[in-house]
């Protein structure tokens, strides 16, 4: 009997933690989303300047040094975006009194992690096979799936953002593969900036 009561109390505490996180915590901090989006737009502009095209497959025809520059550019943009996210997420969690190591936050990371891993593995395979054109669409699609799943432990907005990424990723892969660079700019750049701006607006109301 005591064991059942302890289990019930544990379940109640867990449900309370999930509900508190869902009502307060935003999966993407406002300024981190805006900063990450701006970095993507900058990387897109520099990539277009190197290739002269919105088709990522044009990277195939660049000299080896410029190929490395494009790769380094996007890796740097990703690393800086992640660092900015964690710094601002830590500040936001302190403000809300929510631990980044709480069970719901861990579940959100676990929902996102496999999608990022899958995108990384597929990217390495596609680079090896010189099929560069599918890389942006795969990242957009899998990031959207991960964001939607992670948003199940947050508010409704990240799930809607995830759906936008999913639709854009499908379009990039099946409908407009020659415009994948611009679709990456639209999603990782534009969607994140719009989302961050929306979160700021909501906080100021």
Quote the crossing angle between the two packed helices 30-51 and 192-204, to the nearest 10°: 160
Query: CB burial class (10 A; 0-12, 13-18, 19+) of residue 25?
Result: buried
Residue 173: strand, helix, or coil: helix
- What's the whole-number average pLDDT of the chain? 82
pLDDT at 155 (0 to 100)? 73
- Poorest-confidence range of 67-76, 101-110, 181-190, 195-204? 101-110
Q: Which residue is it, tokens 């957009």?
A: 140
Structure tokens at 173: 């892969």
pLDDT band at 12 (very low <50, low <70, confident <90, very high): low
pLDDT band at 170 (very low <50, low <70, confident <90, very high): very high
CA distance 108 to 149: 7
pLDDT at 51 (0 to 100)? 86
pLDDT at 89 over 50: yes
Could you report the per-residue pLDDT of 13-50, keeping only the tens digit for each?
A: 655 555 555 444 444 568 888 999 999 999 999 999 88
Task: Write the CB contacts of 16 (distance below 8 Å, at least 6 apart in sequence).
Answer: none
pLDDT at 16 (0 to 100)? 55
């Amino acid at each position: 009997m005591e064991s059942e009561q302890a289990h019930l109390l544990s379940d109640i505490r867990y449900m309370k933690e999930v509900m508190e996180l869902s009502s307060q915590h935003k999966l993407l901090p406002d300024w981190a989303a805006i900063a990450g989006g701006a970095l993507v737009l900058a990387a897109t502009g520099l990539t277009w300047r190197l290739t002269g095209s919105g088709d990522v497959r044009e990277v195939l025809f660049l000299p080896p040094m410029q190929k490395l520059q494009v790769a380094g550019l996007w890796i740097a943009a990703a690393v800086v975006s992640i660092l900015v996210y964690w710094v601002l997420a830590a500040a936001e969690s302190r403000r809300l009194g929510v631990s980044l190591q709480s069970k719901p936050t861990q579940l959100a990371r676990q929902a996102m992690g496999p999608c990022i891993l899958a995108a990384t593995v597929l990217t390495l395979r596609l680079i090896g096979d010189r099929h560069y054109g599918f890389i942006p669409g795969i990242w957009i699609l899998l990031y959207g799936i991960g964001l939607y799943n992670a948003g199940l432990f947050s508010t409704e907005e990240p799930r809607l953002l995830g759906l936008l990424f999913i639709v854009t990723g499908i379009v990039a892969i099946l409908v407009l593969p020659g415009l994948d660079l611009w679709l990456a700019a639209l999603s990782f750049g534009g969607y994140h900036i719009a989302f961050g701006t929306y979160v700021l607006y909501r906080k100021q109301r």
